[in-house]
Amino acid sequence: MAEFISFRIIKIVGIVLSLLILAIGVIAQDTTALGSDSMNNKLIRWSGITINLNLVDAEEVLYIDDSAIITGKNGRPLRLIATYAFNPNLLNVSLQLELNDITFLILSDFGSEPTSLKYYPIPEWVMKLNNINTLVLSNSELNNVAFWEDLSLTYLDLRKVHFGDKPSILKTFGNLKDLKILVHDESLSAEDLSIIKKSLPDVQFAPNVSKPKGK
């Protein structure tokens, strides 16, 4: 049973990582180097990452600029990968009105070097999204996390984050009743994980792989 659960965790984590965060700093091609065949297969190079839309069933790019990329179906936004510079007010009116349909959010300072690591507060626009079930936060300064207590999170990935009042934030995990998988790095210690486990006995932990292997 333990081996089955471990395999399931690895599989789910692998799907999320390969879905939209394929090889940060690993895949060396730029958009022009991908060639027409690859572009027809919906490989998109954006802000230091390669996004493979073949892995996202029937989704298309609805918006893209230097700060964000939004994918979805039939004009409806479902997934958002954004930097902290993203300003939703720059979206067209239709996308602004439907932004709350987003269920998958990755927020990160993409491309930053470890030597220049910075932490950013969670933007106000994130706190207005209430349909997120998959949340990846990187380079975040976590102070007020009341916003995630209102979400039905099933997958939470915390990497290179800094906790303001960690004891208080750890208590909020007990309100994440739908959480199945928590991916973490050294931002959470063994003691922190033990506290979370007491509140969420069924949650499964998975160490974060910050540099996935690529061909």
Domains of the chain and CATH, by start: 2-207 (3.80.10)
User: pLDDT band at residue 74, thresholds of 50, 70 and 90?
Assistant: confident
Q: How many Cβ atoms from other residues are within 10 Å of residue 66's Cβ?
A: 10
- Quote the mean pLDDT of the chain: 76
Q: Which tokens belong to 168?
A: 């208080």
pLDDT at residue 48, as a whole number: 53
pLDDT at residue 50, as a whole number: 55
Give the model confidence (pLDDT) of 48-69 as tens digits: 555 555 555 657 888 988 889 8
Give the model confidence (pLDDT) of 152-170 as tens digits: 999 999 989 999 999 999 9
Give the model confidence (pLDDT) of 16-36 as tens digits: 544 444 333 222 223 323 333
Percent of the chain with pLDDT over 90: 51
57 CA to centre of own chain: 18
- Residue 186: Cβ-neighbour burial (10 angstroms; 0-12, 13-18, 19+): exposed
Element (H, E) at 39: helix 31-40
Q: What sign has the CA pseudo-torsion 92, 96, 102, 105?
A: positive
Q: pTM value?
A: 0.76
